[in-house]
Structure 1
Amino acid sequence: MHILVVTAAIIHREDKILIAQRKSSAEHGLKWEFPGGKLNYGEDPKDGLRREIIEELDMEIQVGDIFEVISHHYGERHILLLCYHCGYLGQRPSTRDCQDFRWVTPAEMAQYDFSEADVPVVKKLQGIK
């Protein structure tokens, strides 16, 4: 079994964070997540995250420090999720490669059905251990 390295952006705009909904046809379809995606072989994680956000939401971000690292198993697949604090640069996101997106506070995240790997990140943002 190999580890799949995935990046995720915690994009801050004032007191809210951007979350994205996976397309219905995607694995874990219609689940909510912090936007990002798989790294290409040899790709720098911050560069890969910037690329994924352009591909998924058609917007530029400023990638900051690591916020959390999650190791999660989806059946036979093992992913290592690298979550980064990211700065919003004022460009409106679009649903280029996602179903929907929302700006929400950490408290409001409880109303959304997140992918399993993202749940610990939600809890950390909410201050729950």
Structure 2
Amino acid sequence: MLYTAVTAALILDNDRVLLAQRKSGAQQSLKWEFPGGKLEAGETPEECLAREIKEELDIDIQVKEIFTAVAHSYGDRNILLLAYLCRRTGGTPSPRDCNDFQWVSLNSLLKYDLAEADLPIAIKLMGERCHHA
């Protein structure tokens, strides 16, 4: 079984995290997710995240460390979602290549219609952050 490597940025601001809403008509149309995207040939996950976040939200980030990895099957395709803790270093978010974005408090994450692969990441993030707060 082949997996496509996909990155996700957990961009934290105190007890909030940045979510992006997928475009209408895209796979997982209008679902909320941690922003990121597919790795291109020769690209590291960190380089991919910096590029994708700039393309999607027009902000600069510092990729800090891997948080978790999730293998998920969407029926016709399998992904390995690599979620990294990140910090915004510049810019104001703007929905350039997504439908919308929201800063969401960690205890409200499950109120959003999250993409299936992002759900276990959200649950782990809520558990770890709320536990250490």
Aligned partners of 1:88, 1:102: CA distance in 2, in Å?
A: 14
Root-mean-square deviation (CA, aligned residues, Å) is: 1.2
1:16-50, Cα deviation, whole Å (9 max, x unpaired): 10000001121101000000000001211100110
1:120 and 2:117 aligned: no
Amino acid at match of 1:65: E
Structure 2 partner of 1:44:
44
1:19 aligns with 2:9: no
SS of 2:85 mapped into structure 1: strand
Residue correspondences, number: 128
Say whether the 8 Å CA contact 2:59–2:88 is kept in structure 1. no
User: In the TM superposition, what is the alpha-carbon distance from 1:74 to its structure 2 partner?
Assistant: 0.6
Residue 76 of structure 1, CA deviation:
2.7
Stretches of 4+ aligned residues off by more than 2 angstroms? none
What percent identity do the matched residue pairs reach? 54
The TM-score with structure 2 as length reference comes to: 0.92
TM-score, length basis structure 1: 0.95
* Structure 1: gaps spanning 5 or more residues: none
Structure 2 residue 108 is the aligned partner of structure 1 residue 108: yes
Report which of the two has the higher share of helix.
2
2:127 match: secondary structure: coil
Measure the CA separation in 2 of the matches of 1:42 and 1:112: 34
For 2:13 and 2:88, the matched residues in 1 are separated by: 6
Q: Distance in 1 between matches of 2:110 and 2:12?
A: 18
Name 1:81's counterpart in structure 2.
Answer: 81
1:43-82 CA-to-partner distances (Å, cap 9, x unmatched) read 1110011000011111100101000100001103110000
- 8 A Cα contact 2:3 2:78, kept in partner: yes
Secondary structure in 1 matching 2:72: strand
SS at match of 1:25: coil
